[in-house]
Structure 1
Amino acid sequence: MNRMARVAVLMAEGYEEGETLTIVDLLRRAGIECHTFSFDNEFVKGMHNMYVQADKMFGKEVQEYDMIVLPGGRPGGANLRNNPDVIALLQYFNEHHKYIAAMCSGTIALAEAQVITGKKVTGYTGYAEKLVDGEFVDDVVVFDQNIVTSQGPATPYPFAFKIMEVFQQDVTEMKERLMYNFAGGK
C-alpha cells in the first residue's frame, strides 16, 4: 500500500481487554495507524471492569478505514452484534471489499451481518453452530477473501500478525523483537 493502512477497533461495553489492547498495541508497533472507537461513552467498561478511554467516538469516519476489528468479550461480542450501526458498517465494508477482522465472540456480529456466507471462518469454542453461514475451520486464525477471524483470548498475537500480513508486512522481525518464537508461538 502506498499510504499507511488504517485500522478501526470497535470497543463495545464488555469488550475483552486482553484481546483489544493487545491487538491495538501490536498494530501500532507495526506502524499501522490504529484507533479505538466507542459508542456511548469516551471511557468504555471492559469485561473485567477495566475502563479504557477510546481514541474516538463511533461515526461515519470509520467507513474511511481499511479494516475494522471486532474483539470479543462478554457481553462485548453480543453488544457489537446487537448494534444496527455495527451491522450496517460490516455490510458496507463487505460490499466495498474492505477488510473485516473479528475474534472470539466478536465473530457473531459477522454472522448477524451475513458477511461470512461461503467464507472460511473460526471463532470461540463452540461457535461452529453460531457461524453456520460460514465454513467453520478449527484453526487459531483464518483468513479468507476479506475476512480475518481468530478463536479467543489466547490468540490476539497470531491474529494481529495475520492482520499485518494482510497489509503486506513481513512479521518475522516483529516476532523476533517480541520473543514470540521463543515463547513457542508459530
Structure 2
Amino acid sequence: MIKRALVILAPGFEEIEAVVPIDLLRRAKIEVVVAGILPGVITGSRKIRIIPDYDLGDVLEEHFDCIILPGGAEGAENLKKDIRIKELLERQILKGGWVAAICAAPGCLINFGLFLSNKFTCHPSIKAEIPLSRLEENSSVVVDGNLITGRAAGSAIEFSFEIIRQLVGEEAVKEVNRSFLSNLPMLGSIRKE
C-alpha cells in the first residue's frame, strides 16, 4: 500500500522546509499532497510562490500517514491561526499517524497543546516556547513516538530522510540517496524510547 503525506503551506512558509520534503518523499514513492491554508498561490518567506495541489479544506477528511508542517516564522504563525490544522493533527494523533514539524512549526504543536510529553527540536528563535525538559536543542532531527521534529532549513534533508525512514524504511532512504548523493550520515536520529 502506498504511503501518503500531506504538506501544509501557509503564507510565509520556509521554502526549503517544504520543497525538500516534497521532492525527497516523492523520490521515495510516497504520495505527497500539498495543501494551502488559502486557495491559490502561497508565497513563502523568500517570496517564492508555490501553487498547492489543493486547498486544505478539500483534503481534511482524507487519510495521510504523515502530516508535515514546514516552518518559517510567519508561516508558523499563520499555521497557529488555522483551527482546522489543530483538528487535523488531533485526528492524526488519535489514529496513531505521524506528524513532522520543522524550524518554527514545532511551536504550533505546543500552541495547540499537542504532544505534551514528547521531546522536540526547533529553531533557536522559538526555543523559549518549548519546555526546557522536552527540548533537544543540539539535535538536527528528533523522533519521539510518532513525532518527528527538525531544527531548521539546514536540517531539511535529514528531516526528510527521517520521514522516509519512518514511513517506508531504511532501504528506501538508501535508494533515494543513491541518486541524491547526500553526504549526511544516514544513521537515524535521536529517539526517545
Please confirm whether the aligned pair reaches a TM-score higher than 0.5, indicating the same fold: yes
- Partners of 2:179 and 2:157 lie apart in 1 by 13
Give the unaligned 5+ runs of structure 1.
Answer: none
Corresponding residue for 1:164?
164
Listed as ranges, the matches of 1:64-103 within 5 Å are: 64-103=63-102
- Partners of 1:176 and 1:77 lie apart in 2 by 33
After superposition, what is the alpha-carbon deviation per residue over 1:106-159, rounded to whole angstroms, capped at 9, x for unaligned?
111111122221111111114332122871112111111110000001111000
- Pairwise CA distance, 1:81: 1.3
Give the unaligned 5+ runs of structure 2.
Answer: 186-193
- Partners of 1:133 and 1:84 lie apart in 2 by 26
Listed as ranges, the matches of 1:1-186 within 5 Å are: 3-59=1-57, 61-63=59-61, 64-132=63-131, 135-137=134-136, 138-169=138-169, 170=171, 171-181=173-183, 185-186=184-185
What is the SS of the residue equivalent to 1:167? helix
Code of the aligned partner of 1:163:
I
Corresponding residue for 2:191?
none
- Partners of 1:41 and 1:17 lie apart in 2 by 18
Code of the aligned partner of 2:56:
F
- Partners of 1:164 and 1:134 lie apart in 2 by 28
After superposition, what is the alpha-carbon deviation per residue over 1:48-103, rounded to whole angstroms, capped at 9, x for unaligned?
11111001111263441111100001300111112111111112211221110000
- Percent identity over paired residues: 25
Q: TM-score, normalized by length of structure 1?
A: 0.91
What is the SS of the residue equivalent to 1:35? strand
Q: 1:160 to 1:54 in 2, by over 3 A?
A: same
What is the SS of the residue equivalent to 1:92? helix
- Pairwise CA distance, 1:17: 0.8
**Runs of 4 or more above 3 Å deviation:** none
Q: 1:110 to 1:133 in 2, by over 3 A?
A: farther
- Partners of 2:64 and 2:99 lie apart in 1 by 10
More helix by share: 2
